[in-house]
Amino acid sequence: MALPILARSIRPDQDIARDHDRPSQCCILLDGLLYRYKLLEEGKRQIFSFHISGDIPDLQSLHLQVMDHNIGTVVSSVVAFVPHETMNRLIDDHPRIRNALWRDTLIEAAVFREWMAGLGRREAYGRISHFICELFVRYQAIGLANGYKVELPLTQEKMGDALGLSTVHVNRTLQAMRTDGLIRWYRGHLNITDWSGLKKAGAFDATYLHLRH
């Protein structure tokens, strides 16, 4: 079946879905980096998740008619838009696709639980270490890591908004991690120099990502 897919290149820091929208299509990230967030009072922002190539960050819009958060671009990103009608036909006609999307939804819930545990119980050092481990493993799983190096163009402000930390706190913690020999991170280029030490610092166990080797 030919899919009526429209792919677009979207500039950095642009919303592709907004709180209270009523979308008629799902978006699939082909290239780039997206994030899911909500704006609170006084302009404060809470980031709930980051999405990499292959992710469908608004799959819930198939069943929940109104968006309750925003989805924006971190960097220039290529996004494909698939009408809900097409997605529903695929799900009805292809049980394996339906099962894959259901599995993806369950894994996303597992990631949210892990983030909640981190925000509630980990100190800043462990929180950031765990966050870096997670993103690295996800990039590695889709072949976008070169050894222990990966392109990760996140600002310290966005990291702070995701992890419940101030930008100053994020900066100081990253400096401490560099001093301890765990990472080097410069202009969006992340190099993990001590993977075992980073995993230990973040008490990272990738089981919750449910990766298939």
Confidence of residue 10 (pLDDT cuts 50, 70, 90): very high
Over residues 56-68, the pLDDT tens digits come to 999 999 999 999 9
- Polymer length of the chain: 213
Q: Which residues make Cβ contacts (< 8 Å) with residue 121, sequence separation at least 6? A: none
Q: Is residue 213 scored above 70 in pLDDT?
A: no
Q: Are 73 and 32 in contact (CB under 8 A)?
A: yes
Confidence of residue 1 (pLDDT cuts 50, 70, 90): low
Q: Is 125 helix (H, G, I), strand (E, B) or coil?
A: helix
- Residue whose pair of structure tokens reads 């198939």 in the numeric block: 62
Over residues 159-211, the pLDDT tens digits come to 999 999 999 999 999 999 999 999 999 999 999 999 999 999 999 999 999 99
Residue 181 in tokens = 């020999």
CA distance 32 to 129: 22
Over residues 110-161, the pLDDT tens digits come to 999 999 999 999 999 999 999 999 999 999 999 999 999 999 999 999 999 9
pLDDT at residue 41, rounded to an integer:
82
Q: Which residues make Cβ contacts (< 8 Å) with residue 156, sequence separation at least 6? A: 167, 170, 171, 174
Q: Indicate the angle between helix axes 156-163 and 124-141, nearest 10 degrees.
A: 110
E strand or H helix at 112: helix 95-121
pLDDT at residue 42, rounded to an integer:
82
Q: Is residue 5 scored above 80 in pLDDT?
A: no
- Residue type, position 76, single letter: S
